[in-house]
Amino acid sequence: MLSMQPASNVDFLEQCVEGDRKAWCSLHETYFPVVFAFLRAMGLEGADLDDGCQEVFVEVYRSLGCFEARSEFRTWLYRLCVTHAGRLRRRAGILAKLRWLLRNEQQSEVPIAGLDWDEQQTIERVQKALATLSAKHRLVLVLREFEGLSVGEIAAVARCPESTVWTRLHYARKQFEKSLQEGVPTP
């Protein structure tokens, strides 16, 4: 079932499917930083980011045996991340509306440990600029510029034609640059 993957990746994934604990630990160690960074770039923060990472790996555990290797494992993993990020963002939006309706104050952001003030400010500016993009534009920009995927791989993750990826990427870059230059107003 996993025969289309490179030989080392096939063996590794098959070991996971067979229940090899060391293979699962290795898979988690290898891909957790990728999933964490991608979900963060897709706009998840705090507890939602932690929940998203956990849910993606639970889904990998549940579904790896059904993975047919029609695409690379990495592409399949990004697709899982997109699905969970969208769901968690929708949930966060609903909770934000409820807080507003109930007139509860939102919690302030906690600084990232180990970063100096300039690095923290840069990260915040990038996150705010990314937040101005639609979900589809944000997806293609993050996958291309932050994750380094090819347009073909992005098309597989986004489930759209490559020409659509190029169009979305063009508009996403323009909006992202504009937002960075304008200093992005706070919501």
User: How many angstroms separate the CA atoms of 38 and 130, rounded?
Assistant: 12
Domain boundaries, the chain: 1-107, 111-187
Per residue in 38-60, pLDDT (tens digit) is 999 888 888 888 888 999 999 99
The CATH code for residues 1-107 is: 1.10.1740.10
Per DSSP, the residues of the chain read --TTS-HHHHHHHHHHHTT-HHHHHHHHHHHHHHHHHHHHHTT--HHHHHHHHHHHHHHHHHHGGG---SS-HHHHHHHHHHHHHHHHHHHHHHHHHHHHHHTPPPPPPPPPTT--HHHHHHHHHHHHHHHTS-HHHHHHHIIIIIT---HHHHHHHHTS-HHHHHHHHHHHHHHHHHHHHHT----
Task: Indicate left, alpha or beta for 114 from its phi (over 0: left) and psi (-120 to 50: alpha).
Answer: left
Give the separation between CA 144 and CA 37, rounded to whole angstroms.
Answer: 14
Looking at residue 117, what is its pLDDT?
Answer: 62
Q: Average pLDDT, stretch 96-119?
A: 51
Say if residue 63's pLDDT is above 50. Answer: yes
CATH architecture assigned to 111-187:
Orthogonal Bundle (1.10)
User: What's the CA gap between 64 and 61, in Å, rounded?
Assistant: 6
Long-range contacts made by residues 62-67, C-beta under 8 angstroms, separation at least 24? 64/13, 64/16, 64/17, 65/17, 67/1, 67/2, 67/13
* Percent of the chain residues topping a pLDDT of 70: 77
The average confidence (pLDDT) of the chain is 79
How confident is the model over 3-20, as pLDDT tens digits? 334 334 667 788 888 888
- Residues 141-187 pLDDT 10s: 888 888 888 899 899 999 999 999 999 999 998 998 888 888 644 44
